[in-house]
Every structure is written in C-alpha cells, then in structure tokens.
Structure 1
Amino acid sequence: MAFTQRPGAHLYWKRDGRDDGPALVLLNSIGTDMDLWDGLLPRLRDRFALLRIDARGHGASVAGAGDYSLAMLADDVFAIADDAGFDRFSVAGVSLGGMIAMEMALRAPTRIEKLMPVCTSATMDAASWDDRIATVRRDGMAAIVDLVMGRFLSDAAEPAVFQAVLRQLLAMDREGYAGCGAAIRDMALADRITGIACPTLIVTGTRDTSTPFKGHGDHLLAQIPGAAHVELEAAHLAPLEASDALADTITLFLET
C-alpha cells in the first residue's frame, strides 16, 4: 500500500500495469474510490503504466473536514504522480475526476499528455450542490442515497454492481464527500477550458442524467480546442456500465 502525505490529508494510491508503458492516471468520481476502474484493468494493464488514486476523503484517503477546491485536488494528484515516478502522463477522470483532470491540464500543461474527461462538466448548479453539502453534513450519507444512486447507474446496471456502489456510498466519510462537493460547487472551469492545449477526448453516456451531452458534454466539446467526442451506452458511472467499451476507447485514443 502506498500513501502520500499532503496538507490535511493522507492519500492512498496504487500503481499497476507495465512499468515501461505510457503513463495513465485514472481518477474516480465523487462518492466512489479507485475500485471504479477495476473492470477496465484487464484491458489496460498490459498496455499502460497505471496510477489509480482515492480522492481526498474517499476510500482509504483520509482527510480533514472543510471545503476542498479543484486546485487542492489537482495538487494532490500531482504530488502522488511525483511519488509514483510519473513525470508526464495522460489522465482520465469520471465526474469529479474529470473536473480535476481539466484543472490539471490548465495548471501544468507540460505534464499532461492527453486528457479524457468522462461523464463530467465544467459547470454545475451551485445552489443544488450547496443544498447537498449541507444535507450530508447534517444528516449523513443515507440522506442523499436515492438522489445519488438514481444518477450513478441506470436500470441496465447489474444488481451486484448497484449493491456494491450503494454499500460504498453509505460507508464513506460524510466530510470527505462534502469537501469534494464544495470543489464541484465552487469550480471555475467554464470560462477557462479554452486554455486546454493537449489532445482531449470527451466521453459522455447516453443514459447519463447528471452530466448529459446536452448542456455539459457539448460545452466541453465546443470550448476545448480540437476536442473530440465519443458517446457510450452508459449512465454516469461509465466504467461500471460500459467497462469494455470505455477501455477500448481509452486505448484507441492513447495509442493513436
């Protein structure tokens, strides 16, 4: 087990795959951990040097209470990449992970080879996130389960997958969720992503009701210079509903 110490946090990460392969960082959504990517590992580990990370306050990454920012979460990833020996790398991130990935591409463009924001957005409803953060801090994770699970997965998800995600969501630290929720609420990406310079592939899900192409993916596609787009048959947690298709999409994008 590998950990990186950061101000206010003890962050868990794991390297996998080939040491001599192209470097790829995989970032989880809010409310999940690095296990989100497990279904893709059989298709990716033989081709890439992989780095998975539990975001601050998620999974095995312990963090203090308070509001986090995208800049803080991006710096967490850069610090872990340094410890893992990743100098220049591609990054794929789901939801919050995609937001962090875009922030990283803006903060340190020389370090990001290629960018894959998956089922994500550059702008969300700040008022609704403020309400969600307050609810979690007051009433705990159970208070938002129906809302979150209804967006995470569609009826096409296998029951065992649904139950695993539900258990993980209920067990997670409320302050970690709320802190990362504040990073989503307060993000300032919409007017800045025109500055992203690396090759970018926007991945959206046909069943994603949280960040659908219309109103979210289309904005990324229009604003990030030269961005391409792929649509998968999946809800918000595309790695769980379209693992093979997403792995093939990532491989084709990185190896082309």
Structure 2
Amino acid sequence: MPTQLQWKHVLGHEVRVSVRPGSEPGPPLLLCNGLGAGLDVLQPFVDHLDPRIEVVRFDVPGAGGSGSPKLPYRFSLLACFATRLLEQLGYDRFDVLGISWGGALAQQLAFQNPRRCRRLVLASTGTGMLMVPGGFSVLSKMLTPRRYRDPAYARDIAADLYGGRMRESPEEVRHLIYEQSRIGSRTGYLFQLLAGAGWTSLPALPLIRQQTLILAGNDDPIIPLVNAHIMRRLLPHATVHVFADGHLGLVTSADELGPLVSQFLRAPRT
C-alpha cells in the first residue's frame, strides 16, 4: 500500500509524519531517526520490511520537514511527544525501532510505556553518556550538521565516520544521506544534541521488560560493538545480531536487516 505523508500538530509543533499502512492488523512499528536525519533516510529499510507491518516515521521538531522546536527538550519529553503522536494516529500499542540517537529515544519510549510498547529494536546505538565512545576525531565531526549541508564534506568523512560499506564506496553517502534527507534547522540540531547531554539509560535497562533485538555493525566508528554486548547483559529479554557493516547498516544492509527485523516483530510471543 502507498505511503501516506501528512502533518500533525503535536504539543504545539507541526510534525511531518509518514505512515505506510500494513496489509494485516497489528501494532505499528515506530521508527526513530538518527541525529539530524529526516524520515526519508530510512526508506530503503522500510522497503525491505514485511508489507504486513504498518510503519510510522516522523521528523522530530527541527529535523527534516518538521518545524523548529520552541524550547530545548529532554528524551523523556520527546518520548511523551512521540506517544501523543501515536495516539493522534489512532494507535494504542506499538513496537519501536531506534537507530543511533533515535535508539536513545526508543529506549526511553520503552521505559515510559511498559504496557503500550510491545517490542524494541535498537540499531547502531548505545546507552548515552555512560557508554564506550567512538574516537574523539569521529565524534567531533557530529557536533555540527555540516555533513547534511555539504555533499563534498559528507563524502570526504564517510569512511571514517560511518565505517562499513562506506569505506569502499564513500560516494554513496551523497545519495543515502545528502539527497534523501531534508535539512532541518541548526537550532533543531543543537536541541537534539542537548537532549542527550547527561542522559544515560544504564540504570533503566534492567527495568525494560520488552523483548529486544539489538543490531550492531562490526565496523561502527561511532558506536563500538562492545556497547551492544553491554546492553544485552543488562536488558532482561535481549538478543544481539552482529552484521558485517558500519553505522549506517540499517540502510546499507537493509536487504539483510529488514527481513530480520520483520521476523522478530512477527514472531509469536514467548
């Protein structure tokens, strides 16, 4: 079924939302984007998801096509924001997948909605401030949204920043990131950075009871692989799948990870 693009008014903000209807009843999968990324970036992954699964994507305030945020926010407030959005769309229960920065939001959503959030998928993400970080030279490249605004710069840093397949084909980042993502505001990017300042999920992970699938690349300069194993040990019902790619594996290895996530979401409850 065709994807429906719409705008919703949520907690005083105009938000761009995409809904791909599922062909069978069931909770939708909410996708939470990475830092500065618009919902369009995850289209290759959505294309490889089981068509029976309904998929909801949205641009956080200040990213993609959504209006700029009025005030700084924390992940706890953004989780309330996402829950309110799902309510407006008519969903009572949901699954959630978060990639990178969006993985922090996904963890917060699962923690704050133990009854409404059914299953959790964490891709190329960690536990916030208390995690094993990537190198300073890598993380410093993420302090500004320049990689979304300058395609030549994005190509030049793709191998070192994203690893995986970008090491062999850094020019692909022009299509994957630059051409496919609407550019949000600088204020929106700054507020996304501030949302993660001081945030960590480590104390909350043992309290997240949802079945969880952790996806981690074996060549991720931003989120080293060891973080996935730390989360697996702390989450009560988690499994890890390590894939041969980098930080953008959810997109560049969508043909592998899309069916894997679909199987996880549609598996009978254990």
Q: Provide the TM-score with structure 2 as the length reference.
A: 0.81
CA contact (8 A) 1:141 1:172 kept: no
Which of 5, 13, 17 aligns to 1:13? It is 17
Which of 97, 100, 105 aligns to 1:100? It is 105
Q: What percent of counterpart residues are identical? A: 22
Query: In the superposition, relative to structure 1, how do residues 150 and 5 fare at CA in structure 2: closer, same or farther (>3 Å)?
Result: farther
CA contact (8 A) 1:13 1:80 kept: no
Summarize deviations over 1:187-214 as a string: whole Å, max 9, x none. 1311111110110111101121111221
In structure 1, the residue matched to 2:162 is 152
Unaligned 5+ segments in structure 1 are none
CA contact (8 A) 1:204 1:213 kept: yes
Summarize deviations over 1:32-80 as a string: whole Å, max 9, x none. 1111221123332512011111122110111235432111221121111
Which of 172, 187, 196 aligns to 2:208? It is 196
Summarize deviations over 1:201-228 as a string: whole Å, max 9, x none. 11101121111221x2122111111210
In structure 2, the residue matched to 1:254 is 265
- Give 1:172 shift: 3.0
In structure 2, the residue matched to 1:111 is 116
Query: In the superposition, relative to structure 1, how do residues 177 and 148 fare at CA in structure 2: closer, same or farther (>3 Å)?
Result: farther
The question of 1:49 aligning with 2:50 is answered no
> Within 2, Cα distance between the matches of 1:186 and 1:21?
39
Summarize deviations over 1:131-168 as a string: whole Å, max 9, x none. 9699649xx966x9666874235324562443451456
Aligned with 1:62: secondary structure?
Answer: coil
In structure 1, the residue matched to 2:37 is 32
In structure 1, the residue matched to 2:127 is 122
Unaligned 5+ segments in structure 2 are none
> Within 1, Cα distance between the matches of 2:256 and 2:61?
28
The question of 1:225 aligning with 2:230 is answered no
- State the number of aligned residues: 250
In structure 2, the residue matched to 1:4 is 8
> Within 2, Cα distance between the matches of 1:155 and 1:134?
18
Query: In the superposition, relative to structure 1, how do residues 62 and 118 fare at CA in structure 2: closer, same or farther (>3 Å)?
Result: same
The question of 1:61 aligning with 2:66 is answered yes
RMSD of Structure 2 on Structure 1 (CA): 3.0
- Give 1:85 shift: 1.5
Which of 77, 85, 89 aligns to 2:82? It is 77
Q: Provide the TM-score with structure 1 as the length reference.
A: 0.85
Between structures 1 and 2, the one with greater helix share: 1
> Within 2, Cα distance between the matches of 1:65 and 1:141?
23
